[in-house]
Structure 1
Amino acid sequence: MKITHIILFAAFGLLTTVDLTAQGIYKGASLSIPASHLQISDQMTTNLIFPFAIKSVDRGNRNILVQKANAVENILQVKAENSELQNSNLTVITEDGSFYSFAVQYKEVPQKLNLKIQQAGISDLADFGKRIQAESELEETARKVATKNRSMPALRQRRFLTGIALTGIYIEKDLLYFQLRLENQTNIPYDIEQFRLFILDNKESKRSASQELEQSPLLIYGNAERISAQSNQTLVVVLPKFTIPDQKHLKIKMMEESGGRHLKIKVKNRHLMNAMKVD
């Protein structure tokens, strides 16, 4: 799925909202949430604009293509793999704990391409158990991780005298901390256009977006914008804890702005199982 840096909003569709009904469990009784209707096409991109950053996305059918727009955390772009898509569903949870459910239907020309999603009410909040730590606490833990020595055989890729390496995975309070080393042994600074993490099938299709499940960092500690010439630096990426299903892997991908020194590494579930505690 091709992403553009500028999303053109149709004037008649920009203010469209999706209303959701609350779900909860009260003394053994449950209330269902009727899904909002969503039309998608294989020739046109539907944009869902949420009030908060997207925390997780689940597709009922792998032929639904999803990914976040470049440089933003709250816009989800959706397409169909092909015109054979059967009726399915899409679930989105945002970082404030809000839950959104969509009944997805193929439509060659969707009636609305840009949907501004209405903020969920207090009773729509999903129960994640423990609340996310304060950002200052995350930064302090990330700082500790950044100063640690390598704790695992590095997973790395080097190209054109630049490189990225995963050198440690740590866990604390249901959060995973990924320690990454970035290097640039050239005299040309490396400006980072994209830094993404997503779970992907081991066997990637030509339209790999159909298999992607974006992982949205709670915090990136360090300079995620540039690697200066002749330098090395450390990034610590903080994510809610997760494991990787069979036949899938976590891909960490870094792309250079106006350049070709793109880098990526694969992380398997066995690497996550060796996550160390932060002392």
Structure 2
Amino acid sequence: MKKIVSVILILLGFNQIYGQNIDSSLYIKPNKYLLPIAKKAIRGSYPLELSFYKTTHIIFPSKIRDFDAGSESVIATVPPTITNVLRVKAGKKDFNEETNMTILTEDGGYFSFVIHYNENPDVYNINIANNLRMDELSTDSLGIGRGALSTSNIYEINQGEYSDEELRRFAGKALKQRKYIRHIGAKKADISVFLKGIYFEQKIFYLQTTLENSSSIPYEIDFVKVFIRDKNVLKRTAFQEDELKVLINYPEGFKTVKPNSELKKVIGIPFITLTDGKIMEVEIYEKDGGRHLKFQLDNETITQSKSI
């Protein structure tokens, strides 16, 4: 009996030593040799039902770079011409087990799905970018980390690291700066874009632009590309170009320029200066349209950039 009491006292002692400082916000509590996992470190997952005979399409905010499924019950493909869309369906009929899949995108996004079989799913088409507000509300309610679109993802570039949160903060500051650049831009079919300023912070350039729509048709931005190209080349002459990664197109939720109105946007790209004979070219593409815009910057303009 004395031995039993002694064991109980020892166990109670260990509980006091290792349990007294455990945070109630921890999801998995540590023992002596395990590190804790806090609720804020947990990424939530989206529920998804798949059918054997029907295909579900998931649209992601950026190009899909990697896909992994928990079992062979899930098969997926990415169309070669539309690389931000995932076609997914059940690999076998009536599978009973729960499984999962994970998608990584070019902009650093991480998306997790928990999958069940349903011959007739309620949802066949999902646009992840339109779920941002629900992600925020749900994760705040659960007390876990923010979803894939709103979490501060960390990226690496040659000059160091940057995060989504920092990009949004500095892009917001750049948007409010006074314009100082004139006469650089482009116009096509009553749609114009003008460069108003170039600002930098933490090895990132922020291009402040204004899009003007003088037509009676809305203009919706599909995507933006930035290239470093040879300055003077003849047609049919081979030339070298390097694409710069667009880190942010801010504000992210505003992509439509209404008729007879304007929209201010900030384009974030990695810091770079140009060698002789090179120019930077910014291309803005209209969604489902042909009113694409293109303007160029030389090294003299780029070196006039201002700190935020």
Question: Normalised by the size of structure 2, how large is the TM-score?
Answer: 0.47
Residue of structure 1 equivalent to 2:296: 266
Alignment of 1:169 onto 2:198: yes
1:217 to 2:246 alignment: yes
Structural RMSD (CA): 3.3
Question: Counterpart of 2:226?
Answer: 197
Identify the residue that residue 11 of structure 1 maps to in structure 2.
none
Task: Give the counterpart letter for 1:265 in structure 2.
Answer: F
Checking the alignment, whether the CA contact within 8 Å between 2:198 and 2:305 is kept in structure 1 is: yes
Task: Show the counterpart of 1:276.
Answer: 306
Q: Which residue of 2 aligns with 1:239?
A: 269
What is the rounded CA distance, in whole Å, between the counterparts of 1:191 and 1:160 in structure 2? 14
Secondary structure in 1 matching 2:160 = coil
For 1:251, the equivalent position in structure 2 comes to 281
In structure 1, C-alpha distance between the alignment counterparts of 2:237 and 2:206, rounded to whole Å: 26
Q: Is the 8 A contact 1:195 1:224 kept in 2?
A: no
> Could you tell me whether the CA contact under 8 Å between 2:159 and 2:203 is conserved in 1?
no
Partner of residue 113, structure 1: none
Aligned positions of 1:45-60 closer than 5 A: 50-51=65-66
Looking at structure 1, the residues matched to 237 and 265 of structure 2 have their Cα atoms a distance apart, in angstroms, of 26
Q: Does 1 or 2 have the higher relative contact order (CA < 8 Å, sep 6+)?
A: 1
Once the two structures are superposed, what CA deviation does each residue of 1:21-64 show, in whole Å capped at 9, x if it has no partner? xxxxxxxxxxxxxxxxxxxxxxxxxxxx8549xxxxxxxxxxxx
Deviation at 1:224, TM superposition (A): 6.1
Tell me the distance in 1 between the aligned counterparts of 2:210 and 2:82: 23
Unaligned runs of 5+ residues in structure 2 are 1-63, 68-79, 85-105, 109-154
The separation in 2 between residues aligned to 1:161 and 1:241, in whole angstroms, is 32
Mapped contact 2:230–2:239 kept (Cα < 8 A): no
What is the rounded CA distance, in whole Å, between the counterparts of 1:210 and 1:166 in structure 2? Answer: 26
Q: State the identity as a percent.
A: 27
In the TM superposition, what is the alpha-carbon distance from 1:271 to its structure 2 partner?
Answer: 0.8
The answer to whether structure 1 residue 229 and structure 2 residue 229 are counterparts is: no
Which of the pair has more CA radius of gyration? Answer: 2
Q: Which runs of 5+ in 1 are unaligned?
A: 1-48, 53-67, 73-93, 97-124
Amino acid at match of 1:176: F
The one-character-per-residue Cα deviations of 1:203-239 (angstroms, maximum 9, x if unpaired) are: 2454689532111111111256322222101111111
Q: What SS class does the counterpart of residue 275 from structure 2 fall into?
A: coil
Aligned residues: 167
Give the superposition deviation at 1:266.
Answer: 0.5
Letter in 2 for 1:164: V
Taking the aligned partners of 2:268 and 2:157, their CA distance within structure 1 comes to: 20
| Distance of 1:250 and 1:156 partners within structure 2 | 12
Q: Is the 8 A contact 2:228 2:281 kept in 1?
A: yes
Taking the TM superposition and a 5 Å limit, the aligned residue runs for 1:148-163 are 148-163=177-192
3-state SS of 1:136 partner? helix
The SS at the match of 1:192 is: strand
Q: Secondary structure at the match of 1:149?
A: coil
Q: 2:164 aligns with which of 135, 148, 171?
A: 135
Which structure has greater helix proportion? 2
SS in 2 for 1:270: helix
